[in-house]
A and B are shown apart, each in its own frame.
Chain A
Amino acid sequence: MTQILSSIIDGLLIGFVYGVAAMGLTLIWGVMRVINLSHGATMALGMFTTYLLFSDLALNPYLALVAVVVLSLLFGFLIYGVALHRVIKAGYLSTLLSTFAVNMIIIGLGTAIFTTSPRNIDFSVGSFNWGGIIFTGTRLLAALAAVVITGALYLFLYFTRPGKAIRAVSGNQAAAELMGIPSSQVLALSFGLGTMLAAVAGGLTSTFFPFTILSGASYQLKAFVICVLGGLGNPLGALVGGLFLGGLEGVVPIFMPVSWVTVVEFVLFVLVLVVRPTGLLGSK
């Protein structure tokens, strides 16, 4: 019994991190109706950046995350400027294929540079035992970091000028433009934020799982499932969805082989899309 509980709690803790990744994806969708197919690759980049700072500069991975935040924000601006700005109004196929192309480029370059051998961040903060359930330190810290980030995002979106501009554009871009909000800059900022959330989620994940440049793909699928579950464009839904999926992942391996988890997630994804496309919590 404690084993099942342990498993579920572990899953929930990871779920917070999934939630952060999903929030990035849902933010980008909510603001500019773009489905970011390079999200997983960005997560992988976050993992690698954290790893490199840790292994080459002996930086505490949690401090490395600060660097990840800054770098990924800039990286997001870059992707928006190069791949999206020109086609943002050209329809869903163009933006879908362009983010997909970016994904291929990142993975391609990443594989060439880093190869596919797995990396691991060997950084333990111990664990503690509570009534027979073991809480791994790294997961607890990751969940904590996720909560802090969510809080910061909320404060940003609701209490700062750029944040409010983002919310205005996602509500009604034409109206926002009429009111003098420079939508291109807002879109770039939103994409940057979304990318940042993905990279940070990746960085956090790297503290407790080994990874390769290809690891992002499965996390991306999870992020999509979560967004769809929680309602596309709904950041709170993304967080709740993340917890739900994390918990599910804690429970499922008890009953079936782990390789089936992806299949279950994919089936869930299609099911929700088909049955309740607005998500279980309602989308924007």
Chain B
Amino acid sequence: MNPFRQSGLWPSFLLVFLVGLVVLALRQDTLRETAFTGLMFIGLASSLNIIMGYTGYVNFGHIVFFGMGGYFGFYLLSEFGWPLYLAALAGGVMAMAIAFIIGAAVLRLRGAYFALATIGVNQAAGAFVSNFEPFGGSIGLSINFSAYDRYGGAGQALWLSFILLWVVTLAVLVVSYLVKRSRFGLGLIAIREDEDTAMVMGVKAPRDKTKAFLLSAFFPGLIGTLYFFKNGNVQPDDAFNFQMSLEVLVMVMLGGNGTLLGPVLGAFCYEKLRDYLLTSVFFKDLQLATTGLILLLIVLFVPGGGVGWLRKRFPELRKWLE
């Protein structure tokens, strides 16, 4: 199936595509930075959606893949001079390896038990890395500036990382769409709805869950490497920022868990809201509380998120609101 022939992919793809185009055309640094953060969250939210939205396994520790993969990729490019795109791929692969290890232990847990286990994963990973000397311990690593030189200096390097992130985000969307419309995706959704029944019908749940989990880990690993490369350093607090993990989760719920467009819209809207809160004198300190309130309101009144609500309200538009 050619995903580009399907209506469902286009709204998300077009949105991200245009954002990148506009930033590249205007060549403004501040715009690029804002867009970078936005695309990063879209990528993280969309990848979380694969395990949480399609498969129904709520992963509170999604940021671990971002952190671990990012650390590893950064380490390779800074200490060993690897080219950025290779280091990023390696970061993605490392994240998959971590997912495999974690998954082997916790994917057998069901429902709330799985979610609980993932809450602790992030804390444990952060604590572990803080004590791990080759990764700089609690201080982290600073970039070796020759890593920027190979791309013609820091300025060029920042634009390169943006372009790569843009491509990666588009890739996440396409992959997510392909999964959703594939037989594999049908199996995942069956697992989400009723895992035991899915198995009775022949879905190899243990294997498929693991695949989904690994897939959801790959992109954050890539994205993490790009992010830390752009920042020029990596620290445990940045890499395993639990707050960030929560925000990504809220973005998926806000936009619509299990949809393609949901994480995109959710990330977009949440970012706008966050910027507003941070600059507003009144709300400045209440960011976490407001995030919590949003989540609560969604869970209580609009569990399908924005896209879920739109689909109900405008059934004719369903094929665009995938």
Contact = CB atoms under 8 A, between A and B. Distances in A.
Interface of A: 35, 37, 83, 86-87, 90, 92-94, 96-98, 100-109, 111-112, 221, 224, 259-260, 262-263, 266-267, 269-270, 273-274, 277
A260 B109 CA distance: 25
Contacts, number: 105
Interface stretch (B40-48, B150-158, B214-222, B291-299): B291-299
A268 to B, nearest CB: 10
B240 to A, nearest CB: 13
Given A274-B108, A274-B109, A269 B117 contact: yes
Contacts of A103: 292
Given A94-B299, A97-B295, A262-B124, A104 B117 contact: no
Contact of B286 (A35, A108, A221): A108
Contacts of B292: 100-108
Contacts of A106: 292
Given A83-B300, A266-B123, A270-B117, A111 B58 contact: no
B291 to A, nearest CB: 6
Given A104-B246, A108-B292, A274-B105, A98 B120 contact: no
A269 B300 contact: no
State the majority secondary structure of interface residues on B: helix
Interface of B: 56, 58, 105-106, 108-109, 111-113, 115-117, 119-121, 123-124, 127-128, 130-131, 246, 253, 285-293, 295-296, 299-300, 303
Given A87-B300, A94-B303, A269-B117, A100 B295 contact: yes
21 contacts: A86-B300, A93-B112, A93-B115, A94-B299, A97-B295, A97-B299, A98-B295, A101-B299, A105-B289, A105-B293, A105-B296, A108-B286, A108-B290, A109-B289, A111-B288, A221-B123, A259-B131, A263-B127, A266-B124, A273-B113, A273-B117
Nearest to B294: A101
A2 B207 CA distance: 52
Given A35-B112, A111-B285, A90 B303 contact: yes
Given A108-B291, A112-B286, A92 B117 contact: no
Given A112-B285, A266-B120, A274-B105, A102 B296 contact: yes
B105 A270 contact: yes
B299 A98 contact: yes
B58 A96 contact: yes
A85 to B, nearest CB: 10
Contacts of B299: 87, 94, 97-98, 101
A31 to B, nearest CB: 15
Contacts of B58: 93, 96-97
Contacts of A35: 112, 115-116
B113 A109 contact: no
A269 B300 CA distance: 30
